[in-house]
Structure 1
Amino acid sequence: MASPPTTIPALPPAPDLNDRSTFNARAYAWSVALGPYATGLQLVGENAYSNAAEAYASAQTASAQAQAAVAAVNSPKWVTGTNYTAGDTAWSLLNGRTYRARNNLSPSTVDPALAPTDWWDIASVSGRPMVTYPAGGPAIAGFHHVLTGSGDLVLPTTGLVDGSTVVEFLDLSESLTAALDPGPNKIRNALGKCTLNVKNARAVLVWTASKGWV
């Protein structure tokens, strides 16, 4: 979620060479105020970058949803015994959702809603391909991950592109013991795992070279 910018503290009146009686006092106050002012500027810049990264991720999600919507409109009904090529789409007879074949299925005999290893749910909450982890596992850039139990979602550590590598997750865990593991990297500029202690927490993580995952 986008966050409001930090307020930049105002600078006091600048020293005036034409006013000798106040020059020293104003110069001292000005120099003291420069530190907090510079910090405020940096925080505003970081906030603007973070919000921009989130807006970029949201745009990617919107694009994926649009593509999923087009695929859903044009997809045929899934038919048992049919051969499907990787990338083909079909809608499930069980829930009406649209799925994309992960690989060649010759033939497909299990409804896509019941075969997550064979089909991606492209009508998921994000429109991204979805992976479900009941006990943690490795995160895949560009995928939506659903955590249904305890365990760590291990974030990617290679192939990271500043501002472009995106990981989404939704925590449905009852135990509230799931965690995000960045490995040697950071989450919001902090080392170590990030515990998910709010049920149904949902987030879009974007990799940044300056702060790690944000």
Structure 2
Amino acid sequence: MTNVPPASPADPPVINLADAPGERAAWDRPLWQVLAWSVVELVLVTNPWQISSALRVAALRAFGAKIGHQVVFRPRTRVRFPWKLSIGHRSWIGEGVWLHNQARITIGSDVVISQESFLTTGSHRHRRDMALITRPITIGDGAWVTSRAMVLGGTTLGRSVLVRPMSVVQGSFDANSVVSGNPATTVGRRFNHAPSGRYARDT
């Protein structure tokens, strides 16, 4: 082991992680159920084989997820705690998506979460003791979180928000916004009003 010189008074403090509070407060379930889900997730959900999406959804529901009809769950997905997941109807969860939901993640209907995106509700008290902090994520109907975006705890995406690839998103974003960047900001509108007053769509 490398010897670490003692800190001087001018050095920033270091939090001793051996004293950090554990994360089990976020489980909301007994140990056996958390372990059982870990096995089922590995075999049926995270599994890269193109097994039935319906089977993945059935496994998630069996462990408490609230999932509507015609939801598509692609391979290599991960869900930390299915009992803290709600998804509306007809939504698509792309390959490699990780829903790290130590607090509740609520996804509306007709939502697309594209490949390799990461939604995480957890963080830590980084100035004190590294204790776990959790905040929920809410995604409105019709939203599209595109490939490899990161959505952080405390985020609310309004109806039909579009998040561009590789964006890091935290905060509240109004309906119909296009969101981009790190940190993400609103850069436009997804649908424009036509002269009729209705929203124009791609031709």
Same fold (TM over 0.5): no
The normalised TM-score by structure 2 is 0.29
Pick the structure with more helix per residue: 1
The normalised TM-score by structure 1 is 0.28
